[in-house]
Structure 1
Amino acid sequence: MKKLGVGALLAAATLALAGCGGSSSSSDPKETTELTVSAAASLTDALTEIQKTYEADHPNVKLTFNFGGSGTLEQQIEQGAPSDLFLSAADKNMDALVGKGLIEDGKHAELLENELVVVVPADGGASIGALADLAQDEVKKVAIGIPESVPAGSYAQEALTAAGLWDQVRSKTVQAKDVRQVLQYVETGNTDAGFVYKTDALTSDKVKVAFAVDPASYTKASYPIGIVKATKHEAEAEDFYEYLQSKDALDVFVKFGFSLPE
């Protein structure tokens, strides 16, 4: 038998590898795209449920959520942190990014609305039924989100200021990084009361709603959505953007206590 030279052997091996590569590529699954969604903490439960349905229908897309205060998320996007979509709990944070050209033109919209409430521990505590009660000596600590970065905290400050109570209540406030931390403070009894959204209150059996804050006393709690211009996955980001505005997704949001813009 004639022996093949080294060069011929290498050529044969190269052809064999190429053939293997060609045959396997046709059966390889499509590459998975990871979408990073920066979203207000109050959307955690609804988006987690939506994620299951969306990923089941889109097996080549993996959703990764970065939950936090809307102001903090806005700053992260401004500083170049990876993000494909932004869901804010306040118009001002979305407007700031739109104004700086960091959101895709024509790819932002009002998605949801929410309601501010005051919660107290479910097992009792101070008697609280109105904003004025928060100024009582009996109430030692009141949790709110950091007003500068958490929309619910900003709304709480607005409402207390409108009632002439901010100066009295401010000294007893415990500020939190987002509404979920506020909820945790009340659940654990570390504060006597806390300002959260109605949707947050519905997720916990360790708190109860003391009262709903007069919506006329604070800026409307709107939730805009937008595609971040720096996304590297424009087609996938746009598909999820559209899906979140579909009836299937909106029904989930409503189930968790959100309302839809009129």
Structure 2
Amino acid sequence: MKAAPEAQRRLLDLQAVDTALAQLAHRRKNLPELAEIAAVVREISALEDERVRAQVAVDDLDRDIARFEKDIDQVRQRKAKDQQRLDAGGSLREVEGLQHELATLNRRQSELEDSELELMEQRESAAAALADVQARISAAGERRAAAEQRRDESYTEITKEQEFKSASRGPLAADLPSDLVTLYDKIRTETGMGAALVYAGRCGACRIELYGADLNRVKSAPADEVVRCEECRRIMVRTAESGL
């Protein structure tokens, strides 16, 4: 393929734009905030599991405490009825029976209240654990929101740069021979880079030093000949800096 030396040199400008666009795309894909957000999402997921377990513990204790409250209330009602019957009087046997039952109910109430108190202390600890995990979820959510805001700000900045670079690429490519751009784009699509400067006798893409027959091939090629590296197949642009 033939192309004016100046057109070949301008391929380097096109490559510089494409390299910048590739770097911006890589930056967009690998923003540190993305890894941070992913880590926080995993953390929140684990914390949500912990919160569910903590909530279940509190709910179970609430259910047990409610059951004790019901049992205690029933004992109190039974005591009140027995006390009314005792106050109303009766035979000695009835009075003794009521007194014995009241003593039994008092012991039962005391046992139930002690058990309830123990459960209430457990609930206090369980509620504190639940509040702690909820606070950690809230803090993680704030970190996630902050990271997402920074991510979005970076996206906006990157998009502006991409739009600017893309806008400059169009006229630059349009001003070059179409067959040269087609070849360049084909190579760039396949390898990530379409053209590179030959500098100090080395291919600027793969950094391989030219020597022997390959060096002679490049040196002897007409200035308007589009030469390609034997190693990486990229277009090699020759200038005064090429050392040929």
Is TM more than 0.5 here? no
| TM-score bin (small chain) | under 0.3
Structure with a larger share of its residues in helix: 2
| TM-score, L = length of structure 2 | 0.22
Q: Which structure carries more strand by proportion?
A: 1
TM-score by length of 1: 0.21
